[in-house]
Chain A
Amino acid sequence: MLTYEPGDSFAHRLDPRTKLAVQLSFAAAGLAHTTPVGLVVLGLVAAGCLRAADTSPLSALHGLRYAIPFLAVGPVVEAARLGAPWFEPAAAVEPALASVRVLLVFFVAAAYVKTTPVRESRAAVQRLVPGRIGIALGIGIALVFRFLPLVRRDLLRVREAQAARLGDERRLDERLSLVAAGGLRRSFARADALALALRARCFAWNPTLPVIRFARRDAAGLALAVALSVSVAV
């Protein structure tokens, strides 16, 4: 699974805001230049990002395996015809370029995920989104990361219990309803316990965040983001 891994690569040491800016401008540049030449240039940029993050393209591809059928089906469906000549390769060119673009965005995003710990992402969000909305968003994001493994285990446990009692022979809506109701009950119980615990600890609007600061090395990343953004306008 694609997830944060501690390390000391160049990308690990960048400010998370720089990395977010590169991702956003890369995606925008991809949309603006979905041409063979544009994609070759962006491919070089994506390779550079993976290199800076010390990430192999194969591991990034592994994290993207669910999307591969979608990427493959686009060109095929667009080129297929319900009569002679049945398949028109020219129509598949544009969707195929779009699939390559999506693939490149996945590589750049994988570099971010691999090199940015949750607490830095949260600090970046709270600094980028102003006021209490930003603080609430930061808290919420941190809580989702924290509770995801627990809720996931809750759901899988309910489903295993269902299978052990031959519940998997029931109709689909009944199975869905039982697993979802079990998950909901536990999630509400966890939310109530969490809210009580937060109140008991004087949960305040003044969170203590890790310091994130732009350094000289961020200049390279920011320059790349600016160049990509400018290329969108050109």
Chain B
Amino acid sequence: MATEHESVELVGDELVGNIARSALFAALMGAGSYVSFPNPISPIPVTMQVLVVFLAGIFLGPIWGGASMGLYLAAGGLGAPVFAGGSAGFAPLVGPTAGYLWSYPLAATLVGALVHGGVELRDYRVGTPRLVSAMVAGTLVVYTLGTVGFAYVQGVSLQSAFWAASAAFIPVEAFKIAAAVGIVRSDAIAAQ
């Protein structure tokens, strides 16, 4: 074991809480890739993943929401089976879905910043229009980067990338936005 002989410095209480929540949210994000629901519109099943991106921004705020998604990518890149279909390792981070994966920290940060009105963590129970527009903006970020990433990695045009990798998924995002609004409104979560 690598040992140190200097004095020990404790991690601050607030930071411990934030690290624990970010890690659990990252694990929730990974677990979300295993839970799929039948899609009412197309044959491709719906997973919870983008919903968790929204929830990370809403409940953890822009900084820790983004950090938790960054942790998700780091853990997946180092071998945690957290990516689509339980895949793991560095390859998905540079594979056809790389654009989606890299967009998650940005989208969570954006949703958090729009809901909390800045980088400070405030009450997340804001009006429905603000909540919905924050998530629509997050969805735009996810699909823009997802499409551009697919086009770049697969060497196809943006138009082909949109039809191949994004078009079938976008309508379902409305259900996820509705679900996130339902969770925030239901007061089922007593997060501070």
Contacts and interface: CB of A to CB of B under 8 A. Distances in A.
B20 A1 contact: no
A208 B1 contact: yes
A4 B79 contact: yes
Contacts of B48: 155, 176, 179-180, 183
B132 interface: no
B129 interface: no
A136 B157 CA distance: 40
Contacts of A199: 13, 16
A123 B2 CA distance: 10
B160 interface: yes
A172 B37 contact: yes
Contact of B30 (A77, A144, A156, A192): A144
B156 A95 contact: yes
A108 B91 CA distance: 8
A1 B81 contact: yes
For chain B, the bracket of interface size reads 35 or more
Most buried by B among A145, A202, A210: A145
Contacts of A229: none
B91 A140 contact: no
Given A137-B71, A139-B19, A191-B17, A204 B79 contact: no
Interface string B5-25: 010111101011101111111
Interface in A1-40: 1-4, 20, 23-24, 27, 34
Nearest to A110: B89
B87 A64 contact: yes
B74 interface: yes
Contacts of A177: 178-180, 182-183, 186
Contact of B155 (A34, A70, A173, A180): A34
Nearest to B89: A109
B88 A113 contact: yes
B85 A2 contact: no
A218 to B, nearest CB: 18
Contact of A198 (B16, B31, B80): B16
- Interchain residue pairs A-B with the least CB separation, the first 8: A66-B85, A143-B23, A74-B154, A109-B91, A109-B89, A144-B75, A177-B179, A152-B31
29 contacts: A3-B79, A27-B90, A67-B92, A77-B160, A94-B156, A98-B156, A106-B89, A109-B89, A113-B89, A118-B80, A140-B75, A143-B23, A144-B75, A145-B75, A148-B80, A152-B27, A155-B32, A155-B48, A172-B39, A176-B176, A181-B188, A183-B32, A183-B48, A187-B25, A188-B21, A188-B24, A191-B17, A191-B20, A203-B16
Interface of B: 1-4, 6, 8-11, 13, 15-17, 19-28, 30-32, 34-35, 37, 39-40, 46, 48, 51-52, 55, 59, 67, 71-72, 74-75, 78-92, 94-97, 150, 153-157, 160, 163-165, 172, 175-176, 178-180, 182-183, 186, 188-191
